[in-house]
Amino acid sequence: MAAGRAHYTDGQTDTHDSGRHGTVTAIVDELRWRGLLAQSTDEDALRKALENGPVTFYCGFDPTAASLHVGHLVQVLTVRRLQQAGHRPLALVGGATGHIGDPRPTAERTLNDSETIAGWVARLRAQIEPFLSFEGDNAAVMVNNMDWTEGLSVIGFLRDVGKHFRVNKMLTKESVAQRLASEQGISYTEFSYQLLQAMDFLELYRRYGCTLQTGGSDQWGNLTAGLDLIHRLEPHAEVHALATPLMTKADGTKFGKTETGTLWLDPEMTTPYAFYQFWLNTDDRDVSRYLRILSFRSREELEELERVTEERPQARAAQRALAEELTTLVHGADQCAAVIAASKALFGQGDLAALDEATLAAAVAELPNAKVGGLGPVTDLFAEVGLVASKSAARRTVKEGGAYVNNAKVTAEDAVATPDQLLHGRWLVLRRGKKNLAAVEVTGA
């Protein structure tokens, strides 16, 4: 049986020793131990190919938004792991497939204009490139499928690619089947997406000798479509697919979603402070799994963090490790240090006045907050922002010694906030007790 043609595994067998030293021979076991192997085509053949490597592989990212989100981060970091294990990555940002859109389970995607998509291609490339090495024998290559589709005629596409697909099989793909069962149905445009992605694998096989495609398990139908096309046109080719699991939260909510929306990698769309806080607030039930999938710490380090979390969950050591590592990876060490300083300062462990305006603004945005036209009694502000139920409750909080403005204890029940207390001329950070925070932004004199 040709490699990758029909034998699929679910990635749920026993774990083995990890490939933490970055050796080519151990990468499959490393991915399995980390929970990154959901499905693969003929795992024995894939393992042999990777052991005999280096293997040229690719992962695709469509520019359907101005930024990647944390769901994409799983794929980006998996590509990084494979490169560190000695394999050669092709990172594809789909200027062509971005015009079409991979079918979503519920509704058609909005089609964006070519100028917008070209801009998003550049932005996504800039986000991916820092994670990869473009030097050495297995230097990464950035590719764009617009290079081989832009000049292709409709007749050429139908004869050279469409001829090799069977509609009855295309209808069984999960994303297509879901849409066919919905009220929205599916357009021919999105139905054709799997042909375009299959053509990508074929072109990369012919141009670069690419023999492995990676992606999320929701892409499995598209991954295997590429394998099938190559086997029809290049019958002696040994090609493979590897799918990572879709990450979910223990509470059933969607991974990477917050109360304010998607967690983006772009700092203008999701601030580094909000990014850090997302990971810091990871549920104890999820944190060990997220660390294995996303962290580059050794197996020993991760197992120690798992032990500490089980014994002393209140210390949140694993969450802090996860938040610090990922914020540094995505936003850099300086930004990570700034958000850690902000987190500490908010709870009285640092100087709020020392925070730069952008970092403080990001921190304030994550707190309950209110805008007021001018300054007034501190008790009024506590009530206005909802830290207490009433002004009388605010006075009791002051009397009991639990009211703070910018980490300074309020000692007088009739204290009035003054302009010199405003942080960057705009904000007051209010705290009730040790953990209840809110912020007031003063918009007038």
**Relative orientation angle of helices 317-331 and 333-346, to the nearest 10 degrees:** 140
Q: Judge contact between 161 and 199, C-beta under 8 A.
A: yes
Residue 20: per-residue pLDDT = 33
Intra-chain end-to-end CA distance of the chain, in Å: 78
Strand bridging mode 240-244 / 39-41: antiparallel
- pLDDT given at position 260: 67
What residue has token string 């050796």?
23
Structure tokens at 440: 């007031």
d(CA 16, CA 377): 63
Cβ count within 10 A of residue 303? 13
pLDDT (tens place) for every residue of the chain, 445 residues total: 333 333 333 333 333 333 333 444 589 999 999 999 999 999 999 999 999 989 999 999 999 999 999 999 999 999 999 999 999 999 999 999 999 988 887 778 888 999 999 999 999 999 999 999 999 999 999 999 999 999 999 999 999 999 999 988 888 888 888 888 888 888 898 899 999 999 999 999 999 999 999 999 988 989 999 999 999 999 999 999 999 998 888 887 778 766 667 899 999 999 999 999 999 999 999 999 999 999 999 999 999 999 999 999 999 999 999 999 999 999 999 999 999 999 999 988 989 999 999 999 999 999 999 999 989 999 999 999 999 999 999 999 999 999 999 999 999 999 999 999 999 999 999 999 988 999 999 987 5
- pTM of full prediction above 0.85: yes
CA 380 to chain centre: 41
What is the rounded CA–CA span in Å between residue 108 and residue 112? 12
Residue located via tokens 């300062």 = 345
Beta strands per DSSP E along 125-282: 141-143, 212-216, 240-244, 257-258, 261-262
The structural domains of the chain, ordered by start, are 8-244 (3.40.50.620), 248-354 (1.10.240.10), 367-445 (3.10.290.10)
Would you state the pLDDT for residue 311? 94
Copy the structure tokens of residue 419.
Answer: 């302009």
pLDDT of residue 53: 80
User: Residue 345 in contact with residue 437, Cβ under 8 Å?
Assistant: no
